[in-house]
Structure 1
Amino acid sequence: MAKRTAEPIPGPRNGVFGRHLDDYESHPAEFLKDCRRKYGDVFRFDTDVVVISDPAEITKVLVHTNRDCVPNANPLHGGRFPTPEQTAQWMRTRQAALPVLRSAALPGLLPLVSAALAGELRALEGGWFDPAERAWRVCVNTMLPLYFPDPPPGLADALLTAFTEGRKAGEAAIRIPSWWPSRLRRRVQRADQSIRDTIAPLLTEERPASQGEPVTLLDHLLTRDEPVPADVAQAALGITVLGAIGTMGGAWSWLLYHLAARPDLFDRIRAEVAAAPAEEVAARPDRALPFTQAFVNEVLRFHPPAWLLGRDAVTDVTLGRWTVPRGTAIMFSPYLLHHDERHWKEPERFDPGRWLRGDPPHAPGAYQPFAAGPRGCLGTHLGTAILLLTAAHLATDHDLDAPGLDRVRPLFGPTLIPEGMSCRLTARHHR
């Protein structure tokens, strides 16, 4: 084990009673950026919280997740670390869902996703809406056809209720002991149980063999040679969707913002989509639409929805010349990483072209919209595809109006979303 330096990790003074907590809550990203300038790439934010900004250290923490660290503890479970059995259970869940969510499996399923997305966008036509409010339902309804041949009634509502209650817990940012009679925890538990109750009957149904139709995740789980335990299958079909809603919804909101804010680039996307075969766009949008892919990459760089991520150290962890003890929360901000001039050229300029010049436009490890390592976002490829398909559908079928974008501000909550945006979709009439 690395020898611990006698010098304490620098950072704001006075711990939980310090004024810096108020400063952080008022302007989170600016406060963390200012601390990085003052104290360096490793600083102590609070008694048991360390923030890191070096991409190599961030990558190390992410890669060693499940060994040295675990994702930040659930505040509704008293802030306790997951047990090794719970970690193993979640990894089994990921493995059960992976065959349908990996990049190579998506082309056969994306036309279903594309059709569902087109319907969601048509339903938004005509009226004004805040994308940060509508994004969650759009993303859930768009994802479900990949999971179920016929999504069961009520499942989307159950998922959205669980997401909303879990989001409230994240916003509260308080740790509730497991023995405490918490109303919030009971609401989250009821919502989670509703998801399981809706899914459970589907796992016992006899389904006819697929006749050339896309194999959904439910089909895959029911036809495996080795049966999947019911609790793992339920989690794969429900909890993996639940875990993707926040990141995907935030990214979807920012995509609409940047399309509306940059009409010249939107026109270029329109031209690219019009020139590409529709079947190829629906199945392989990443290959059919290189400029649109670059635009999406830049949206995720400029406004990463998972703007602040973290891991809890389950053993002593060396960070630079310091060793932080077990129990420390190690946090990092993809938002600050993506706007760091040390790792990007002109990071404050929105430039999709940076992704089209051959070499990576950033230092190694400096692009983390979905994290990395064994607990990185399971839906990375699906989420990116939904953003590409959204841009393609909007370019083909809709005009996007969004006045007053100069008044829109980023809201640094559990998910980074645009605050104060109102937009309207109008059907385009093709000749």
Structure 2
Amino acid sequence: MTQARPSPPPRGRRPPGPSGGRGAANAADFAVDPLGFLTRAARDHGDVVALTSGNVLLVHPDDVGRALVDRDRNLVKVRPGERRRGGTGFPLAMMNSEGEDWARKRRRLQPAFRSERLAGLRSHAHDAVARTVGSWAEGRTIDVHKEMSRLAMRIGAVHIAGRPLGGEADALADAVAAVMRLTSSPVRLPTWVPTPVNLSLRRAVRALDASLRRLIDGHRPDGGATALGRLVEERPRAPFPEIRDELATLLMSGYETTADALTWLVHCLGTAPEADGALAASARAAGADGYAAACAKEALRLYPPAWVISREAARPVEFGGYLLPAGTVIGLSQWVTQRDGRWFPEPDRFRPERWLDGAGPVHRYAYFPFGAGARGCLGASMALSEVEEVAIALRSQVRFEPVGPEDVRPRPALALQPVGVRARVFKEHPRGARWSR
């Protein structure tokens, strides 16, 4: 079921928007508070919003689906001539490619993300959780994001590279931190300007290059079972820059987004004691009732690691009755659409039960934390399973008591990072324990 849309406007009209969609003040407002700006823009101006003269936000799931699925030929992610390495980019990676080059790279990696590999991921996730929990003292206050980052690194590295990371883990973490500092800054200077943030990024990327070369050179053949195996063992072997870019994006995106999703889940459970108790009961039954999966989906709805994605019109396209010229940058915001009360009753409340018994959003494209269509995330099902399995393993062994939840805030960088999530950890007894405060 979808809700009826208002009659389309006369053709030729520009979409409405803050300051008429032309003011430079909009770009400044977005830079300072992107989540608030996009939320207000959609609330005040509707489903097709002009943010600047060349940027349009699409809010309605009909348009999300058409942009990501039906209009794939009219919209591109990367313009020809923009594949430069520098700053936050790894241009030779699949996610930064287009056309047949993109299709070739996706076909190459696809076998490493097949469903039959989930069993191995599940076993490794539980082992990694056991080691992590074993390092926590009873009643200790932890920085949840820091701990979930270490945990995600342990799990993701084995899946992608086939073995735990040694010193490479530090280089990867430093590179991710540098990228996030850069992309969360409201004012960004060109990467050649020697600012402290840019210099830190350059150092981190150089160290990452050296670490990835060691990882690639030390790879032991696995028959192409892992992503690294697919990259290194393919004949003819891809050149180092291409393998490096692909491996960097896989490790960085998998590590950071999983850590963010797990941290947001811990935060959400801290605001919903009944849901936390239900998850504890489900975890004691090894998640057989699907409640952990529902918790994972709901946390990704409220706090999607990918909070906005964009495409560019390669030729004129129409959305919501507005004809948008070629060159228009089209934004789709998971943060905005997934918190829309038309598709999710009580949209700001953590309600895992909305995903139980086959339920879900009333519109297929009201929920797209991993994108959709041909360019949807290759590892989406694996990422969701990882969050689910870690949630089961964690909640079966410990409960988290939130510390200062009122101080938690999202930081929209390349991913939606959780800031200020802290908790005291208590070892769970065999029969479990209800939430206590």
Deviations 1:109-148 (A, max 9, x none): 3312332233234334453233234443332222111123
Which residue is equivalent to 1:260? 270
In structure 2, C-alpha distance between the alignment counterparts of 1:86 and 1:18, rounded to whole Å: 30
Q: Secondary structure at the match of 1:305?
A: coil
Which residue is equivalent to 1:55? 61
CA contact (8 A) 1:309 1:332 kept: yes
Q: 1:272 to 1:15 in 2, by over 3 A?
A: closer
Q: 1:39 to 1:145 in 2, by over 3 A?
A: same
CA contact (8 A) 2:20 2:50 kept: no
In structure 2, C-alpha distance between the alignment counterparts of 1:161 and 1:74, rounded to whole Å: 23
CA contact (8 A) 1:250 1:416 kept: yes
* Residue 41 of structure 1 pairs with residue 47 of structure 2: yes
In structure 2, C-alpha distance between the alignment counterparts of 1:15 and 1:150, rounded to whole Å: 50
Q: 1:76 to 1:181 in 2, by over 3 A?
A: farther
In structure 2, C-alpha distance between the alignment counterparts of 1:390 and 1:332, rounded to whole Å: 29
Q: 1:232 to 1:118 in 2, by over 3 A?
A: farther
Residues 73-82 or 37-46, more deviating: 73-82
In structure 2, C-alpha distance between the alignment counterparts of 1:188 and 1:94, rounded to whole Å: 28
* Residue 238 of structure 1 pairs with residue 248 of structure 2: yes
CA contact (8 A) 1:98 1:378 kept: yes
Which residue is equivalent to 2:181? 168
Aligned length: 415
1:179-190 equivalence runs, <5 A:
184=197, 187-190=200-203
CA contact (8 A) 2:32 2:186 kept: no
CA contact (8 A) 1:93 1:233 kept: no
Deviations 1:38-84 (A, max 9, x none): 32211111122111101121122223457522169799869999799
In structure 1, C-alpha distance between the alignment counterparts of 2:177 and 2:121, rounded to whole Å: 28
Structure 2 gap segments, 5+ residues each? 1-9, 432-437
Which residue is equivalent to 1:281? none
**Identity over aligned pairs, percent:** 28
In structure 2, C-alpha distance between the alignment counterparts of 1:411 and 1:205, rounded to whole Å: 36
* Residue 249 of structure 1 pairs with residue 259 of structure 2: yes
Which residue is equivalent to 1:401? 401
CA contact (8 A) 1:294 1:355 kept: yes
Q: 1:37 to 1:237 in 2, by over 3 A?
A: closer
In structure 2, C-alpha distance between the alignment counterparts of 1:220 and 1:352, rounded to whole Å: 37
Q: 1:405 to 1:199 in 2, by over 3 A?
A: closer
Of 121, 129, 133 in structure 2, the residue corresponding to residue 117 of structure 1 is 129
Residues 417-426 or 138-147, more deviating: 417-426
| 1:367 positional shift | 0.5
Q: 1:110 to 1:226 in 2, by over 3 A?
A: farther
Q: 1:202 to 1:47 in 2, by over 3 A?
A: same
| 1:240 positional shift | 0.9
CA contact (8 A) 1:99 1:105 kept: no
| 1:394 positional shift | 2.0
Of 70, 73, 82 in structure 1, the residue corresponding to residue 77 of structure 2 is 70
**What is the identity, as a one-letter code, of the residue corresponding to 1:10?**
P
Which residue is equivalent to 1:104? 116
* Residue 153 of structure 1 pairs with residue 160 of structure 2: no
In structure 1, C-alpha distance between the alignment counterparts of 2:113 and 2:177, rounded to whole Å: 24
Deviations 1:344-366 (A, max 9, x none): 33323432222123343321210
CA contact (8 A) 2:180 2:415 kept: no
* Residue 379 of structure 1 pairs with residue 391 of structure 2: no
Deviations 1:194-233 (A, max 9, x none): 33433334545584768xxx94434455555664544443
Q: 1:295 to 1:208 in 2, by over 3 A?
A: closer
- TM-score relative to the length of structure 1: 0.81
* Residue 199 of structure 1 pairs with residue 203 of structure 2: no
Deviations 1:396-416 (A, max 9, x none): 211211133344344445433
Q: Secondary structure at the match of 2:366?
A: coil
Q: 1:296 to 1:342 in 2, by over 3 A?
A: same
Residues 309-318 or 151-160, more deviating: 309-318
Q: Secondary structure at the match of 1:129?
A: strand
Q: 1:181 to 1:261 in 2, by over 3 A?
A: closer
Which residue is equivalent to 1:367? 367
Q: Secondary structure at the match of 1:44?
A: strand
**What is the identity, as a one-letter code, of the residue corresponding to 1:101?**
F
Q: 1:37 to 1:273 in 2, by over 3 A?
A: closer
Q: 1:94 to 1:162 in 2, by over 3 A?
A: farther
Structure 1 gap segments, 5+ residues each? 277-284
- TM-score relative to the length of structure 2: 0.80
* Residue 138 of structure 1 pairs with residue 151 of structure 2: yes
CA contact (8 A) 1:75 1:175 kept: no
Q: Secondary structure at the match of 1:365?
A: helix
